[in-house]
Amino acid sequence: MTLFEKIISREIPAEIIYEDDHCLCFKDIAPQAPVHLLLIPKRPIPRIAEAKNTDQELLGHLLLTVGIIAQQEGYEEEGFRVVINNGKNGGEAVPHLHLHLLAGRQLQWPPG
Ligand code: AMP
């Protein structure tokens, strides 16, 4: 069971800011910006490259939801970034798909 599944089942605490039947959003424990949230599907998908056609609706839900959270939390006007890390070079550490939502400062491009 991954760390994020333990957060879903409340075995590990997290600062949860949004939840519905399909996904959970909580604060990253090591924030890289003033706002750093993680949005995860409750049905585990290891990483985006392993998503299947049957995950299409869930993936769409995650993208719509991350935008709604950004809007509701007030990050839309200043701007924000959504990131998915995949595999070693992508910097993936937890093998449970997660969208990083970063906001609250000017983010650099290209990323390091
Ligand atoms: P990634 O490197 O894309 O796999 O992202 C994993 C993220 O999970 C990192 O930004 C970590 O800081 C974050 N993280 C690890 N453990 C926890 C935890 N217990 N609660 C919240 N975020 C965590």
CB proximity list for 52: less than 8 A, separation 6 or greater: none
CATH code 3.30.428.10 for 3-103? yes
99-103 and 35-41 strand pairing: antiparallel
Residue 98 annotated as catalytic: yes
What is the Å distance from ligand 1's center to 55 Cα? 22
Query: Ligand 1, residues 45, 83, 94: which to mutate, most atoms within 8 A of Cβ?
Result: 94
Q: Tokens in use for 55?
A: 């995950």
Q: Tokens in use for 17?
A: 């800011």
Per-residue pLDDT of the chain (112 residues; tens, 9 = 90+): 999 999 999 999 999 999 999 999 999 999 999 999 999 999 999 999 999 999 999 999 999 999 999 999 999 999 999 999 999 999 999 999 999 999 999 999 999 8
pTM value > 0.85: yes
